[in-house]
Amino acid sequence: MMTLTQTRNQTIYGALLEHGSWTVPIGATGDGLSCVGAIGESLEDLIRRGSSRFKASQWVQDDGRLKVYMDQLKQYWDGERNSFSFQRDVWGTPFQQTVWEALLAIPYGTTVSYSDIAQAIGRPAAVRAVGTAIGANPVLITVPCHRVVGKNGALTGYRGGLAMKTKLLELEHANLASL
């Protein structure tokens, strides 16, 4: 459930979500979750990193407006949820949107390769472009780019860092034997 928003001139509500060992900043528009940061990143870091993505937007800290997103992320971290039912409001090129939609099809607790995603979107020669689009995913965890690994099963780059990627895969009990 993603929408491509044409205008960036809107308010983005931000909050720092703390739950157990997890502390991540999140942001949402009135239309859905628009950004999830990395473990240990501050809300200010997320705003600073997102300032080019959300050029004309106003940021407002408002935990109450983000409750639905925070509740579902907490349930995920507690092992009570393996998918998210809220709307996402992300900006990207049509190619990025296609890749991000393909990421949503990766089942909880499994991993696929970048070439698997390229095949899934009908662009088998676009593995590097797929990797670039995955790296631009603004909503970590909820669009599960952490489930994408190298063709040989090796953990590869992740905007939140490899420690966060490993932690997410362990949480999902993904088969890490080959990683």
Catalytic residue numbers read 145
Sign of torsion, CA 50 125 127 147?
A: positive
Between strands 11-19 and 2-4, the pairing is: unpaired
Nearest to 18 by CA among 30, 26, 7: 26
Element (H, E) at 77: helix 67-77
**Distance between CA atoms of residues 43 and 157, nearest Å:** 22
Nearest to 36 by CA among 149, 159, 130, 148: 159
Residue 123 corresponds to which tokens in the numbers above?
């662009």
**Distance between CA atoms of residues 70 and 154, nearest Å:** 30
> Given its phi and psi angles, is residue 7 left (phi above 0), alpha (psi -120 to 50 degrees) or beta?
beta
